[in-house]
Every structure is written in C-alpha cells, then in structure tokens.
Chain A
C-alpha cells in the first residue's frame, strides 16, 4: 500500500504520539523499504512498538525534520548526501557504537566515507543503483544501453523518471562527461539545458513505487531503482535492467537518529536488530537491494547473490559513481529542478 501524500497524516501521528514515548520507536523510512514481517518480529522479540511512516524523497523527509527541529522520529534513513547535510546542521545524534553488537557484520568498503567519517552518525542499511528499465516485450532486446538513448525523440511523452533531483541530474552530468557529484554552477547549468531537451519525452515522475507504471503497462522505458526492477521481474520477467554506459548511479541509504529523538535506546536496539545477518538477508532478498552486511550476504541464496541487477559486475563500478554531498550547490539543483518540473 502506498502512503504517498499522507504526509500530513503521518506528521500528525508522529507529533501526537511523541509525547507518550515508552517502549517504542518511531521509524520514518522510504516507502516499501522494510518487509512487514521484520517489523513484527522486532516487536515480538523486544516488546518495543514500532510506529512507522514513509516518505518518497530525501527533501520531504528533511523538510519535516527541519520543521520539527529533529523531533518526532527516532530512526530515519537518509541517502549519503543528506547524512552529510543533516549532521553538519546538527539534526543528527551521534550513534553509540557500543550499543550495536552487530556492527562488525558490515562491509568495510561501505564504511568511513567522506559523507560521514568514522560513521559517527550513520549505519548503512542498503545500497543500490539507479539505472534504466525497459519492457523487452515492446522494446527490442539490447537496443537500450546508454542514458543518452532516453533522449531519442521517438520516446516522446513515454518515459518515467524518478522524482529525485540528484538522480535526474546525474544522467545529464554523466552524458556531458562531468562528475555526477558536481557542485560547479556551470556544469549544473549545462546539465539543466541538456535535461530541458529530455522533458518532452517525460510522461511521469515517480519515486513512490517506480515499478508500478511499468507493470501496469503505462510506461515501457525510463529510470528505475534496481530493487524495484527486481520486484517487477518477479511478476514480469521481461522487464530488463540496464547499467547505462555513461555510468550508473550508486547510492547508500543509512540508518540515522535525529537529534530530537526521545527513544534513543530503542533506536539503537532497532538498528542493532536490523544489522543481524538473517534480518539483513531477509531485507535484501525481499526489497531487492544489496545489503552492506557481509554476514547477511553469505546467507543469501545463490540466485540472489548472482543476480546482476542486485550485485553488479566490477566493471559497472568503474564508470558508475556513488552519490555524495554537493554542499550548497543543492539549492541550485533544486531551483533548476523546479523549472524542469514546471515544464520550461
């Protein structure tokens, strides 16, 4: 069930319940990002109630946290560049490593990154990629290999883009040969000009459940997150996932504790629970993204571990780029983004 636009409702619940905090943890997460059974198991084992609400973009989550001065939630799951931004702005609480008995399970290559040196504020949950999806029933197999293929005029009014400013700009920056984490106003401006020419091809923006328009047959080509592609393939095997030649988008979403959290101990218990190998495995398998949990990865069945959509070949990493903070340039991105979405 999608929760898009129930923002106000979830905000109100969060506000009204924050006052009576006892034995509970308020989780604010991306939509469809934790299997239901996992939350239930957590409550059964620890007696801690989970209050759960969802968002579909970093911006919305950030705006709400900022508005409430970091109060109202105990767990949030920002992407890397928002971890950097929010920790600088004092919106995150340092994480007490001593309370996390399973931290050692994590893959070192995803720890201690520039966006959060020493992982003071964040614990990686899942990582994944944003690439291209197409329906091989309609579009010839192998005909789509690059981001630039989306610019073909024959797709007029047919594409899906994720409703995410950084991901959409990533495409244009890469086509222009720039870093997807550029903070150079000139490069961002050029990317905007490039994207303007893509807009006539765009039918819909969706970051709620981008697989659904593909499955409903409304869209046959566009951007998608790898996990959504994996979920779609379970029902529609002919959905193809492409790592674009110019370079795919890699991202990491991490658990963090907002500065105003009133259930810090419960929040740590929640994170520690999520770091258990078998839980990490279950999340990765059901949600379709890669787990940074080495112990959890060993438990994955062979089919999942060999699924190139979830765990790409090393060659993909050579061109692809992990999202990182762009600092104050984010405002510039957002200004251009608004213009694009208004269609001009």
Chain B
C-alpha cells in the first residue's frame, strides 16, 4: 500500500494534477476576487449598478480626505495596541511552552486552541456580557472592593482592543513557539559560559533569534485586527472605528463599491509592504548569524 502511494506521489501525472488543482483553486478563489476588487476600485460609483465605466481614480483621491485619515489613525492605533499586547502576553507564554515537557505543552496548546472551535462572533457576544456594567468583570471588581461603581468598559477603545487581543492571541503564539523550538539551546549555554548575564542572553541571543517568529506573529495579528469590523460593531458601539467598519459600510450602506474596494486595496498594499519588511528583516537576521545553514558551514 505504502509503496504504491509513494509511486503515485512520484509520478509526474499525479504531481501535475495536484499542482493544477491547487493553482486553479487559488486562481478562482484568491486571484480572481482580488482582481475584481482592484478593478472595481477604479470604476465610477453608481447607486443602482454599483460600479460603472469610465475609469477614474477618484476613490483613491478620496482616501486622502481628513475624515478617513482619522479612521485610519484610530484603526492603526487600536490594531497596534492589540498587537503589542498579544506580543507581551504571547512571548512569555510561547517561551514557557517551549520549555515544558511534551505532555504539558500539548495540554496547554490544546487549551489555547479549544475556544477556536466556537465561532468568534459568539465569543465576542460573550465578551459583551462579561464587560457590561452588570457583567462579571465589574461584579468582580466591586465584590473585591476595588471600585464603588461600575466602570464603563463596554463600547470603548479598550473593549475593542481587549476583544482583538482575545481573538487573535493564538495567531501570535503559534509562530513564536516554532521560533523557540528552533532556538539552539547550546548557544545559550555557550553565552553563559562566556559570562553573559541573564539580561544579556535574553536581549542579545533569544530576542534576535526569535525575531522571525515575533515579526510573523505581529503581521498575522496586525492585519486581521484592522479589518475585524464585528468586534468594533459589538464591543465598540457600531461607530466607524476600524477600517473594516468603513469598508463594510461602503458596501452595505453607502453602496459606494469603488471606494470600498479602494479601501480594501489599501489594506492589501499595506500587507505587501509589511511582508516586504518582514522578508528584509529575515534576511538581515540570517546574515547576522541566524539559524541558516550558511552560518554553520
């Protein structure tokens, strides 16, 4: 059985079919929609037909209106804060996991993944209940005597950030774990032998070597955070806080598809920009003595 499977895998027909399927899947469901969005972004808005000729870059010039700059900055602020908190919580967590034995590690990973089996929309509603003026958080704080009257947590930037951190946390942890796993422990021993203090070992060995994981984690958290409109709708009070809310409203309320598309294209461009930064950072780290084979030659 296994032998025949191996033969199949090696046969050119099989691999070609596999590649063809993958490519057409990507073509139909990834490339085409993106091309459509890009095309729509340079058409003229029309309330009945959504987007019509002629070509225009008006949607892109509108991006520079001060009104949208504020949404953009708000959105940036919330997403950056969420990413930083994810990193601050995720880094020690990933480090801990990498130091644990396989059993505990799997248990903790499992516990982190379990909530993912529940739809994030439902979990966001649950957060709403927890954060309300009569929710569990306020009850707890008041029960402990820390506050006298409930704090307004819900419908604020804090609530949105909290929701984003909660939902995106695993996306930060997973790339970090693989970075920590790749960390060569002998390097740390060598550093200790050569007299490096704990802080020095952390900043000069651990952090640079896990940098690819840090950057990957930050990217995977940051971009979705900009677009998670339902978190801002439910926890932020349905104002236009995130770029995602603005995009959603262009399509559903304003019916200005070109502008909504232009906003989406902007998000995509930002992602490309950050990936480029990531690739460069990665190259630099490897040149400086990362885990690349070249450094051990």
Contact = CB atoms under 8 A, between A and B. Distances in A.
A60 interface: yes
Nearest to A5: B230
Of the listed residues B132, B234, B239, B249, the one surrounded by the most CB atoms of chain A closer than 10 A to its CB is B239
A66 B239 contact: no
B133 to A, nearest CB: 4
A174 B92 CA distance: 57
Interface stretch (B25-33, B163-171, B205-213, B252-260): B252-260
A302 interface: no
Interface string A314-334: 000000000000000001001
B22 to A, nearest CB: 24
Given A334-B253, A343-B70, A66 B237 contact: no
A338 B47 CA distance: 16
Contacts of B237: 202-206
A216 B134 contact: yes
B199 interface: no
B125 interface: yes
B interface bracket (residues with beta carbon within 8 Å of A): 20 to 34
A216 B133 contact: yes
Contacts of B249: 338, 341
B246 A342 contact: yes
Contacts of B125: 2
Nearest to B233: A5
Contact of B255 (A66, A89, A163, A204): A66
Chain A interface residue number, banded: 20 to 34
A339 B230 contact: no
B253 A218 contact: no
A183 interface: no
A80 B229 CA distance: 29
A201 to B, nearest CB: 12
A337 B237 CA distance: 15
B233 A4 contact: yes
B239 A157 contact: no
A60 B48 contact: no
A303 interface: no
A342 B121 contact: no
Interface in B212-255: 229-230, 233-234, 237-240, 246, 249, 251-255
B48 A218 contact: no
A40 B134 CA distance: 35
B134 A342 contact: no
B237 to A, nearest CB: 3
Interface string A144-175: 00000000000001000001000000000000
A85 B34 CA distance: 32
Considering residues B47, B251, B253, B255, which has the most beta carbons from chain A within 10 angstroms of its beta carbon? B253
Contacts of A334: 253-254
Interface in B127-176: 129, 132-135, 150, 152, 154-155
Contact of A343 (B233, B240, B252, B253): B240
A20 interface: no
Contacts of A39: none
B114 interface: no
A66 B51 CA distance: 12
B134 A60 contact: no
A342 B239 contact: yes
- A-B pairs with the 7 shortest C-beta distances? A204-B237, A205-B238, A217-B133, A217-B134, A342-B240, A59-B253, A216-B132
21 contacts: A4-B234, A5-B121, A5-B234, A59-B253, A60-B253, A63-B251, A63-B252, A66-B48, A67-B50, A202-B239, A203-B155, A205-B238, A216-B132, A216-B134, A218-B152, A334-B254, A338-B254, A342-B67, A342-B68, A342-B246, A344-B66
